[in-house]
Amino acid sequence: MSDLPERLGVVGAGTMGAGIAQLGVLAGMETWLHDPFPEALERGERYVRRYAEDAAATHLHASTDLTELSDCELVIEAVPERAGLKSNLFAQLSEVCRPGTVLATNTSSILVTSLAGAAAEPHNVVGMHFFNPPPLMKLLEVIAAEQTGKRALAVARATGEAMGKRVIVATDGPGFLVNRCNRPFGAEALRLLQEGVAAHEQIDRIVRLGGGFRMGPFELMDLVGIDVGFEVAKSFDAQSFGEPRWIPSPLQARKVAAGTLGRKTGSGWYDYPRDAEYRAADPPAPDPAGGDGERVAVDGWGALAHQLRERAREAGFDARAPEDFGGGDEPSLVIDATVPAPASDIGALDGGPPLVAICADRSLSGRGDPTAAGFHLLPPLDSARLVELTRLPTTPEATTRAAESFFTRCGFLQEWVGDAPGLVLGRIVPQLVNEAAFAIGEGVGTADDVDTGLTLGLNHPRGPIAWGGEIGFDHVLAAIDGLWDDLHDPRYRAAPLLRRGGPEWPPPT
């Protein structure tokens, strides 16, 4: 007997429900789209027929009567994200549908286990988390509740694959796998803003141009709705009983109280005028050029130091490791890209070349050299267009100018931010890797599923495990430990799996 249902029911004709129904008819399933509100049902039906005209003509059935879904082998609910509403619906469907019908929830934040208890057959309840908009996003996250049986999982997987989705399976828990592993993207950005490290526009620009993300965290909050994100944050907090990594931000609470919720209200972190873009287009990065044989020492042994030396050489610098200089050919600038930073730094000698030091596992002030400037970059540098720079009140102007000149000639735009371990991108990305390590270590999903989920479900430029491989997991661990040393906040504790590290990372699947 095939696991793929012939008859599919979709409850809720909004954006998500209509998109799921479109996928159903295109996959050849007889699809019943239900909504108790005739106007909503009409809009949803019109949407499906517009984008799946031929398939909808033969496979789509619209109904305001829930009992017409009685013969469906799979019913997916896509109603508003309220636990009571979804539980009541599952109770109703248990009375309407035949025994053995699989009931799926499209929830993105409610524990599937709590909803399964409302059904007459909890073993036939499963999570099917589609990403918005369902017809375009390539991922389906299938969630196994405590009660979910093997058949329900098989039906959900077969349906997703018939719809053309890459299916990953996650264990039930706060945010499941994808939204959980993405939690630091917004949460760490809010923390950086709260600490005054950078303005929200700077953080977004750094994330886009330095990390290659399509959208910065504050732009994303505005798109989703700040109130929606705040409710999700409170849900994470409640379900985890106060996990420090998931504590909601007071900055979110203030925005919600003010009613500035993002694009839907015309104002959030940005203003959204009707006849203009909310921000200027990002400028192109300069081409690497102009080194003219100038001698630069780039210290360090990891991926960042190696790639920065190569980039400097591409720009025309005579870039070498510090120990390769001597005999009267001293460098005019020292770039210290050593992570973790040594207990005793190189330091800028009196009358010697200026020092620009990486701020990864410690702040610039924590490096103990009052004359240095700081920087941060994350490999791979071939996709990075921007470098973060920082300085101290005691940093000479000549050193700041030398830092700007070097990185401009290496082909990077610049953003000056406040001093802190990791600056901006060096906190957000290591926290993404660290959260993925927690999730994998707790058995929520595999390393491959984490990377697939965040690239296909959320359009990240690469998954956390791929990031860790590019940066170096020792670099990531040093960054997390450096945040703990500086802030003593338990949100910056390293996942046990990350601390074990070494050749066993990621673990065998």
pLDDT tens readout for residues 457-496: 999 999 999 999 999 999 999 999 999 999 999 999 999 9
What percentage of the chain carries pLDDT values higher than 70?
96
Residues 204 and 186 in one domain: yes
- pLDDT of amino acid 327: 75
Of 357, 390, 416, which residue is a domain's last?
416
Looking at the domain assignment, is residue 403 inside a domain? yes
20 and 129 co-located in one domain: yes
pLDDT of residue 509: 45
Spatial CA neighbour of 50 closest among 22, 24, 23, 9: 22
Both 189 and 258 in one domain: the answer is yes
Q: How many domains does the chain have?
A: 3
pLDDT in tens, 86-136: 999 999 999 999 999 999 999 998 999 999 999 999 999 999 999 999 999
Residues with Cβ within 8 Å of 385's Cβ and at least 6 positions away in sequence, in order, are 209, 210, 284, 285, 412, 413
Q: Is residue 32 part of a domain?
A: yes
Is 21 in the same domain as 154?
yes
- Residue 320 sits in a domain whose CATH number is 3.40.50.720
pLDDT at 280 (0 to 100): 92
Q: Out of 416, 443, 472, pick the residue that ends a domain.
A: 416
Please compute the mean of the pLDDT values over residues 315-319 and round it to a whole number.
Answer: 97
pLDDT for residue 329: 85
Has residue 349 got a pLDDT over 50? Answer: no
Mean pLDDT score of the chain: 94
| Residue that terminates a domain, selected from 372, 394, 416 | 416
The whole-angstrom separation of Cα 358 and Cα 317 is: 19
DSSP string, 60-75: EEEES-GGGGTT-SEE
Residue-wise pLDDT for 242-295, tens only, equals 999 999 999 999 999 999 999 999 999 999 998 889 999 999 999 999 999 999
Q: Does residue 288 form part of some domain? A: no
Q: Is residue 2 part of a domain?
A: no
Q: What's the confidence (pLDDT) of residue 26?
A: 96
Q: Based on the domain organization, do 384 and 445 belong to the same domain? A: no
Residue type, 17: G
Q: What is the pLDDT of residues 354-403, one digit of tens each?
A: 999 999 999 999 988 999 999 999 999 999 999 999 999 999 999 999 99
Same domain, 15 and 67: yes
303 and 393, same structural domain? Answer: yes
Q: Is residue 220 included in any domain, yes or no?
A: yes
Q: Where are the alpha helices (DSSP H) in 6-149?
A: 15-26, 38-51, 53-59, 83-96, 112-116
pLDDT level of residue 508 (50, 70, 90 thresholds):
very low
- Residue 504 scores a pLDDT above 70: no
* Domain assignment present for 289: no
- Quick one: pLDDT at residue 341? 81
Kindly state whether residues 120 and 218 are assigned to the same domain. Answer: no
Does residue 485 fall inside a structural domain? yes
Is there a domain that residue 287 lies in? Answer: no
Range of the domain at 120: 7-172
Q: Provide the percentage of residues in the chain whose pLDDT is more than 90.
A: 91
Residue-wise pLDDT tens digits, 63-85: 999 999 999 999 999 999 999 99
Tell me, yes or no, whether 19 and 168 share the same domain. Answer: yes
Residue 164 or 275, more confident: 164
Tell me, what's the pLDDT at 348?
46
My answer on whether 117 and 16 are in the same domain is yes
Res 1 pLDDT > 60: no
326-331: average pLDDT: 84
The residues assigned a catalytic role are 108, 129, 141, 179
Tell me, what's the pLDDT at 503? 43
**pLDDT of 343:** 60
Tokens describing residue 363: 């702040």
Same domain, 157 and 193: no
Same domain for 33 and 167, yes or no, is yes
Q: Which of 377, 365, 313, 372 is nearest to 346 (CA)?
A: 372
What is the rounded distance in angstroms from the CA atom of residue 92 to the CA atom of residue 77? 12
